[in-house]
Structure formats: structure tokens, C-alpha cells
Amino acid sequence: MNQIAAGRLFEQLRDRLGLRWIAGRAGENRFIDAAASVSRRPSLAGYLNIIYPNRVQILGTEELAWLDGLDARQRWETLQKIVNFSPLALILSKGQDCPADLREAAEDARTPLWVSPRRGHELLNVVQYHLARALAPQVTIHGVFMEVYSIGVLITGESGSGKSELALELISRGHRLVADDAPLFTQIAPDVLDGTCPDLLQDLLELRGLGVLNIREMFGDTAIKRNKYLRLIVHLQRLRSDPNADGMQRLTGDVGSRRVLDLEVPQITLPVAAGRNLAVLTEAAARLHILRIKGIDPGAAFLARHTQFLQMGEGA
């Protein structure tokens, strides 16, 4: 299950948001996990809320002014409610001075307390997006993930079907490698799967007989893509002679889909046989997918033309 600790979140956002850690350093290992991202309440990040406390509580000028308006007992009780919920962190916006009692409460409860010069709505947008992405559903799929004609193409198939050899040929033709063997896909939006490479495998491609190749060093920085949205799966399958094969596939192609997390991703199956140029076929599959996105389907157009031709013949 995906999770993120307060200390890691601070390091990831420190430079971008100008964060300073002013209290509660002992709570750096406090974490939230993916279960928090699917619950309706509390939310991952938001302005100070003591009824449905957020995982990350942002205190702007209005929130501190509201606290200042409480009498001593109410203020103490409110601060105890805030820290007793054990939020991942509290963040003061606009570089405000931290009240001494808030600092003390955070230190006693081991609640990370940060301050940033950024405005509250900037903190909210950045922290909410960062947490949502960090805790988003993820899956690893065996294959090679490439950028082909600007779209993300995942090449899958049985072991020994030639996935890595095909990837190397595509790279030599000017396309780019994202990840070999174990690309990681994150559902960052209801209809978007973002594919990346694990740090351990960054820039590497493994081929039988040659071993591990560093694609960046061999082909340059332009041969590597840091991440790409998954739009198409090209599945390599050994060619089998099947007398009962569907003849319509000769016209429409072997087109289907594969479910990845919550999305159905279009999949084209390419038969593998001696003499077939899989690099050219994969490029053609990518071009065909782009045409279909635009509403152009050559197979469907041919069938419509064929039907019209038959109707004209019957009417003659």
C-alpha cells in the first residue's frame, strides 16, 4: 500500500514551498497511506477544520485570527483537538509568526509544524496534488514502455517474444524508452495512467546475449523519456496456424482492450514470426491508434464501402 511520511513530504516540498520545520520534529515518521485518499472525510489537505480535520491542516491569517478570538480555555481545548487528531502536519502560511501555545502543543504531541512564505491557496493546491499523486493506485506490468510518435505504448508478450529487441529497434529509429521490464503505472486521474521507470532500472534495457545496456549513454539523453501517459498496448504473440481464426481480423486487425487498474486500455495484438518487421508494425499500430482517436477507422470505412458496393450491385 502506498504511504508517505511527514519527513519525506517535507523534503519533497521544502524547496518548492520554502518550508521551515519549527516544531514537532519527533513526528517525522508519522505517515498516511492510500486508504486516506479514498475516504471522503477527512480530506488529504485543507484549511484548519476541527470538525472534519484534514490530514494536513493549513493555518492562514483567518484561522489564526479566529484562534486569537477565543478565550483562554476555548483556545486550549481547540489546540488539543487539533493535535489529538494526529494530523500528518500543520502548515502556517505567509510566513506568519507561530503562537507560542501552538508551538508548544505541536511539540508535546509530536505533530510536525511547518511554516511557508506562500499563500494558503498555493499551499493547498500543491500539497493536495502532491499527496493525491503520491497515494494514487499503482501497478507494475511486465513489458517495455516506450514513447512512439508522441504516445505511450506498452509492449507486452511472453518471455522470449522479442520485446526488448523490438524496443532497441524502435530506439534506433528515433523513439524513446521510458522503462524496461517493470514499468510502474499510476492512475493520477480517472482517465489517465502515468507510466514511469523504477529508480533501479532507470535508463537500462536488458537483451539476451548483450546483457544490460545503458540507453542514455549509448543513444543520448533524447532516447530517454522520464514519464508518459499510457495510451496503447501492443501485445506480441507467436503466430499460430488456426483454421478457425476469425477472417474479420484480416480487415479490422486483432484489436481489443486490457484492464489496467480502473481503465480499459486499447490493445493491438501483433503475431510474431520470422521475417516480420515488428518495429514497422508497431509504428503502424501507433499511427493507426492516432487515426482512430480522430475518428478515422480504415477497416470500418472499407466495410462500409464494401456494403455500399454490394447494395449497388443488387440494385442493378
Instruction: Decide: 186 and 151 in contact? Cβ < 8 Å.
Output: no
Domain limits of the chain?
A: 3-134, 138-306
Q: What is the pLDDT of residue 274?
A: 82
Same fold, 3-134 and 138-306: no
What tens digit of pLDDT does each residue of 60-80 get?
A: 999 999 999 999 999 999 999
Q: What is the pLDDT of residue 188?
A: 87
Q: Which CATH architecture has domain 3-134?
A: 3-Layer(aba) Sandwich (3.40)
DSSP three-state, residue 39: coil
Q: What is the pLDDT of residue 130?
A: 92
Q: What is the pLDDT of residue 230?
A: 96
Catalytic residue list: 142, 163, 181, 250
Q: What is the pTM of this model?
A: 0.78
CATH superfamily of 138-306: P-loop containing nucleotide triphosphate hydrolases (3.40.50.300)
Q: What is the pLDDT of residue 96?
A: 94
Instruction: Decide: 91 and 55 in contact? Cβ < 8 Å.
Output: no
Q: What is the pLDDT of residue 38?
A: 57
E strands, the chain, where?
A: 3-5, 20-23, 31-33, 45-47, 56-59, 89-92, 113-115, 138-140, 143-148, 151-157, 176-181, 184-189, 192-196, 204-207, 211-214, 227-238, 255-260, 263-272
Q: What is the pLDDT of residue 43?
A: 84
Profile the chain (316 residues) by mean pLDDT over runs of 10 residues.
Answer: 88 95 94 69 85 92 94 94 93 94 94 96 94 90 96 93 93 96 91 94 92 95 95 89 61 83 93 88 94 86 80 69
Q: What is the pLDDT of residue 57?
A: 95
Q: What is the pLDDT of residue 248?
A: 66
Q: Output the CA–CA distances (angstroms, integers) from residue 160 to 141, 156, 164, 294, in the order listed.
A: 16, 11, 9, 34
Q: What is the pLDDT of residue 290?
A: 93
Task: Tell me the angle at which helices 100-108 and 72-84 cross, rounded to the nearest 10 degrees.
Answer: 40
Q: What is the pLDDT of residue 134?
A: 87
